[in-house]
């Protein structure tokens, strides 16, 4: 009998004997993060190398080192923090209002066939209007200051939240509802124990779509006479012919958008632990 045969088998030992368990347990999230960074970092390194070797000029699309220097200068001057705070505040306010409006309208349309018949055609028509088309109207109605900017972002957020939530409500399996009724659940119990769990996964997807459109609409909002914000930084770079500043603002938009989306996913994860999906099984 070998020394290994004489060992007492424990859960930890069994886990250690399975290949890939410890790397997956210790670094699964980190490994996924590194893989997610591989494409942008690889593209940035490739472009930096092309500029340094003289294969590209890097005038209209600056090298990553130039972008980092521009970001560092904006951070030292305090301008970056000022613009980021202004944009985040507008997106947060517009997102909250848009989610409230989109959720309320979708619940109303999903709960009543009459309300859906009255509301849905108009909302679907309004949804097709480009964001920039709302700008002059909101300026006339609400002025050029913060109210019009937040309202424009809220419009961008509300429509995907409405559409995704309404679709989730209408796609709930009728047989599940009949099972709940057979157990004599009240309307409140039916909503809490059957409808809400059935709708919640798609509702989170709708929130993520609304958040993404909120970040898109904030650019149009900050073109409306803003004196601060990342959209203003974009416009200022275009007017002054500073491609590095434009690209720096775009990079900050991308980073903030990804971080806020990850925060939303993390905040919703505890409410979706009951899901038994192929993706969850693959992630371990």
For 135-140, the CB contacts below 8 A with 24+ separation are 135/220, 135/221, 135/223, 135/224, 138/224, 139/224, 139/225
pLDDT averages per 10-residue partition of the chain, 284 residues: 41 43 53 84 91 85 92 94 96 97 94 92 92 86 90 95 93 82 78 83 95 93 86 91 93 95 92 65 52
Per DSSP, the residues of 262-284 read HHHHHHHGGGGTT---HHHHHH-
pLDDT of 14 reads 45
Q: What are the residue boundaries of the structural domains of the chain, listed by start?
A: 64-283
Where do the DSSP E strands lie in 201-262?
A: none
| 64-283: CATH, from 3.50.50.60, 1.10.3720.10, 1.10.287.130, 1.10.760.10 | 1.10.3720.10
């Amino acid at each position: 009998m070998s020394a290994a045969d004489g060992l007492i088998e424990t859960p930890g030992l069994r886990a250690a004997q399975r290949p890939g368990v410890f790397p997956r347990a210790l670094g699964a999230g980190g490994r996924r993060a590194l893989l997610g960074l591989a494409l942008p970092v690889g593209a940035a390194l490739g472009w930096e190398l092309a500029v340094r070797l003289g294969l590209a000029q890097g005038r209209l699309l600056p090298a990553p080192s130039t972008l980092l220097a521009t970001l560092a200068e904006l951070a030292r001057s305090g301008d970056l923090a000022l613009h980021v705070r202004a944009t985040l505040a507008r997106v947060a306010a517009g997102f909250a209002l848009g989610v409230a409006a989109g959720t309320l309208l979708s619940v109303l349309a999903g709960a009543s066939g009459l309300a859906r018949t009255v509301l849905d055609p108009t909302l679907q028509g309004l949804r097709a209007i480009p964001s920039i088309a709302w700008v002059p109207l909101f300026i006339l109605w609400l002025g050029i200051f913060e109210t019009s900017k937040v309202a424009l972002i809220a419009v961008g957020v509300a429509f995907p939240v409405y559409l995704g939530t309404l679709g989730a409500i209408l796609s709930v399996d009728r047989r599940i509802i009949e099972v709940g009724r057979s157990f004599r659940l009240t309307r409140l119990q039916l909503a809490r124990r059957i409808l809400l769990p059935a709708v919640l996964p798609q509702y989170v997807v709708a929130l993520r779509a609304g958040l993404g459109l909120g970040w898109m609409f904030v650019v149009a909002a900050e073109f409306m006479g803003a004196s601060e914000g990342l959209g203003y930084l974009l416009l200022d770079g275009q007017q002054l012919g500073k491609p590095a500043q434009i690209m720096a603002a775009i990079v900050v938009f991308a980073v903030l958008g990804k971080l806020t989306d990850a925060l939303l996913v993390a905040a919703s994860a505890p409410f979706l632990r009951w899901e038994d999906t192929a993706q969850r099984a693959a992630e371990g």
